[in-house]
Amino acid sequence: MCQKKGNRMSSRSHNGIFCLEGDWDDDLRIPTTMQPVFDLLAKSQNPPVPSIRRNVSTEDGLRYYLRKWIQRKYRDFPLLYLGFHGEPGGIYISGRQAITLDWLEDCLHGNCHRRVIHFGSCSTMMEHGRRLNRFLSRTGALAVCGYRTDVDWMLTAAFEVILLSGFQLHGFTRAGMRAAQRRVVREAGNLARDLRFRMVIAQ
C-alpha cells in the first residue's frame, strides 16, 4: 500500500485521541470496542497516533474522566471520542441513563479551547444548528461532530478510520477543521451520506 507524499507527517506530532466508551451490548461476553480502530491508527500512521481509552458506566465516572481530559497535561489529546449509544442531543450510559448536551456543557464549560468533540453515537447530532453552536460557545470547543441517524457499528468503524486519520493532517484551527471536513467528503462521501455525518465548526 502506497502512502501519498502529501500525507507524510513524520516531522510533526499527531493529535491524540481521548476515548471514553460505554458497553455496546448488555451481554458482556460480546467484547465490542473501538480499540481496534485506535490500534490501527497507532500502527499505520507516521508518527503513531496516541490514544487514551477508558470504559465508563456511571455519570460520576464520565464526569471524572472529562475533568481529566481538560487538564493541561492532556493537551496533546485534543480529540475527545465519546463512544456510547445515543439519541438526539444526548448519549446513554449504563443502559438508559441519559447524558444531555446541557450536562456536558456544565461539565466542560469554557475548557475546550482548540479541542474537538466527536460523538461516536447514534443520532446525537440530530439537533438544530443553533443548539450545536451554543454547545460550542459554552464549552469553547473548536468543533463537534457525529451522526444524525442510527448507524451501523461496522460501517461507522470503517468511516472513523478515515475521519480520525484526517484530523491528523490539519491543525486544530477553524481553517484546519474546514480542510478536514472537505477531506472526509472527498474521500468517504458515500459513507458520510449514509451515516448522515455532520460537523459543526465554531464561528
Residues 164-187: tens digit of each pLDDT: 999 999 999 999 999 999 999 999
Q: Which residues pair with 198 in a beta bridge?
A: 146
Q: Which pLDDT band, with edges at 50, 70 and 90, does 26 fall under?
A: low
Q: Which residue's C-alpha cell is 481509552?
A: 53
Quickly count: other Cβ atoms within 10 Å of residue 150's Cβ. Answer: 14
51 in Cβ contact with 20 (< 8 Å):
no
CA pair distance 159, 65, nearest whole angstrom: 26
Please tell me the pTM assigned to this model: 0.91
Res. 11 pLDDT band, cuts 50 70 90 = very low
Q: Are 144 and 116 in contact (CB under 8 A)?
A: yes
